[in-house]
Amino acid sequence: MKTAELELERIRKLTQISIALSTQHDIDRLLEMIVEEARWLTRADGGTLYILSDDGRHLNFAIVQNESLRVRMGGTGGEITWPPIPMHLPDGRSNDQNVSAYAALSGRTVNIDDVYAAAGFDFQGTRHFDQETGYRSRSMLVVPMYNHEQDIIGVLQLLNAMDARTGEVVGFSDESEKITEAMASQAAVALTNRRLIQSLQHLLDAFITAIATTIDEKSPYTGGHVRRVADLVVRLARKINEATSGPFADVALDADQMEELRMAAWLHDIGKITTPEHVVDKATRLETIVDRLELIRTRAEIIKQDYLIGRLRGRLAAAGMETGGDPAPAEDAFLRAVEEDLDLLDRINVGEARLDDALVSRLKAIGDRRGSTLGGGAFPLVTEDEMRNLRIARGTLTDEERAIVNQHALMTEKILQPLPFPKKFRNVPEYAASHHEKLDGSGYPHGKRGDALALQSRIIAVADVYEALTARDRPYKTMKTREESMELMERMAREGHLDENLVVLLKEAVASGDIP
């Protein structure tokens, strides 16, 4: 190939390399490409890429390649265990004797025809490598890598340029030096951009995890809920990707979709940041800031004491101030009735208690019981609001409190929708906010139904229900076994609340032990 044609091919190749570097997302593969393409451009037998440590004190080996020795280390080729190169000596002076450290510190390219004859640098490490491998290091080109802010982020070192005609080792030409510098500059920018994107991704992920953890820790009873749901969601999604038959055989979530789903799972309860703690943590029907059953017990004691005082006063008056003995049996019956009322309230206060007509009638009678104040007034054993809470048909929440809890899904949407998620994560708000929607349209916040619910939202919904049923730390309900939980979820699927195919997949994963 003529010189002009060779230069044209180099320029064409450099353009292709620039495009390839800018589109490569995998940092390990990007590092390998930098060395591979630099070696191709200069016909170098070997190449090493060093990356400057975050503290700027060392050059770390990132990639080592040598065609003759068939060496490929770093990146996808395995870990490099060689110690890093210090940028400064123990006494604080610059490590100018090491050619790579010198290039990084000075920002200058070093082009050496024969390292064994070069003055000013210490190549003992290179000589030792040659002795160990039988290799002969000769020409070397060391190029500092500048990013777009003109900061040095690493060093590209090429070894033993090969003559295209004879295959002999020759020095690196001026053209090779210039084109390597240009390529190193492009590579540095591409690497910096990719590391910046990766850092931002890690920051976003860490921030999301921190917010979710904060919401979890807001309640001592639901701590860990979001983490467990996110784990379940990822496990279910992997099961979908592994399916080779059945309804999910043609479904394949790519890496970005998996990350988008995982992110939505972590954020699905972010709206609870606006939900009052006494509603989220309402363990009994009478609980607000405290369990009001204790207030009722106090009132009951006052009523009993008031009754006993009244009886004793009557007896003393009838006996001419003579003191009497213990209350009559009829009086004991009154005290026992009050205690029975308290026992009944204690049983009904639990969220899993179910009310029938007989219990409702007993509650009405208890609501009529009154005590007397010192001023001659009266107070109820159970206040009107307490009675309304005790009459809750199911669970511990009133309709108003349940509406407050349900509001968290809409708040999740309101919080997440305005955020500028990257395009590949643009569906996070929708997936996260729809985890309480049901296929039959009876869910919330928007009453979506059927195909309007994305598969990702259905996955989060199934994971959320399963975690809630099997959780050990809910004070308002008894933990369900896996078998009981699956029976309930199968019924919910038949009723059109959950995706039946996902429930079947979950059941199989639970049975096989893939999901605990």
Which residue type sits at 416? L
Question: Residue 370: how many CB atoms within 10 A of its CB?
Answer: 13
- Quick one: pLDDT at residue 374? 67
| Residue 171 · residue 113 · CB < 8 Å | yes
> Which residue(s) pair with 146 in the sheet?
152
| Nearest-angstrom CA–CA distance, 299 and 302 | 5
| Nearest-angstrom CA–CA distance, 426 and 202 | 17
| Nearest-angstrom CA–CA distance, 448 and 453 | 7
Q: Distance between alpha carbon 64 and the CA centroid of its chain, in Å?
A: 35
Report H helices in 384-438.
384-390, 399-416, 428-433
The torsion region of residue 224 among left (phi > 0), alpha (psi -120 to 50) and beta comes to left
The torsion region of residue 202 among left (phi > 0), alpha (psi -120 to 50) and beta comes to alpha
Q: Distance between alpha carbon 396 and the CA centroid of its chain, in Å?
A: 30
| Residue 349 · residue 285 · CB < 8 Å | yes
Question: Residue 77: how many CB atoms within 10 A of its CB?
Answer: 14
Helix, strand, coil abundance in the chain, percent, nearest 5: 55, 10, 35
| Nearest-angstrom CA–CA distance, 381 and 386 | 10
| Residue 176 · residue 42 · CB < 8 Å | yes
Tokens of 209: 């995890």
| Nearest-angstrom CA–CA distance, 338 and 304 | 8
Half-sphere exposure in the Cβ direction for 302 (13 Å, CA):
17
| Residue 287 · residue 277 · CB < 8 Å | no
Q: Distance between alpha carbon 72 and the CA centroid of its chain, in Å?
A: 35
| Residue 172 · residue 121 · CB < 8 Å | no
Sign of the alpha-carbon dihedral angle for 496, 500, 506, 512: positive
Task: From first to last of the 516 residues of the chain, give the pLDDT tens digit.
Answer: 556 666 677 677 767 777 777 777 778 888 898 899 899 889 999 999 999 998 999 999 999 999 999 999 998 888 898 999 999 999 999 999 999 999 999 999 999 999 999 888 999 889 999 999 999 999 999 999 988 788 899 999 999 999 988 989 999 999 899 989 988 888 888 888 888 888 888 888 888 888 888 877 776 555 588 889 999 999 999 999 999 999 999 999 999 999 999 999 999 999 988 888 777 777 788 888 788 888 989 988 888 888 888 777 776 677 655 544 555 555 578 888 889 999 999 988 887 788 888 888 888 889 888 887 766 778 899 998 899 888 888 788 888 888 888 889 999 999 999 999 989 999 999 999 999 999 999 999 999 999 899 999 999 999 999 998 998 766 556 678 889 999 999 999 999 999 999 999 999 999 999 888
DSSP 356: -
Half-sphere exposure in the Cβ direction for 292 (13 Å, CA):
19
**What global pTM score does this model have?**
0.67
| Nearest-angstrom CA–CA distance, 163 and 178 | 18
| Nearest-angstrom CA–CA distance, 182 and 164 | 22
| Nearest-angstrom CA–CA distance, 111 and 125 | 18
| Nearest-angstrom CA–CA distance, 304 and 287 | 24
